[in-house]
Amino acid sequence: MENNPPQQIGDILKLKSNKKPPAYEWQDFALRIINELKVPNFKRSAVFKVCKEERKAYIEQCLNDTKELCKTGQAWKYFFKIISASKKPKL
């Protein structure tokens, strides 16, 4: 099979990938959480916010707890419930 190289500049620009890699480690981690928990579009910014503001070890623990405890239903809701419950002041 013959491999045809692009002949015109427009062909080269079409082949160019416009996808940027994450600038920070927490962004890559947030994308992983979004994929694993199937977070809907309207809640994705909340995942990025949590990953930026909280310690990675803490978020990983919440993610592991979510995977272990939420076998059915929407795991992303359970993840946010765990994150927000531990932030509340304990009386």
pLDDT in tens, 6-29: 567 777 667 666 666 667 899 999
For the stretch 31-80, pLDDT in tens is 999 999 999 999 999 999 999 999 999 999 999 999 998 888 899 999 99
Contact 28, 22 (CB under 8 A): yes
Residue 53: phi and psi, rounded to 5, are -90, -25
Instruction: List, as own/partner pairs, every contact residues 64-68 make where C-beta atoms lie below 8 angstroms and the sequence separation is at least 24, other chains included.
Output: 66/37, 67/36
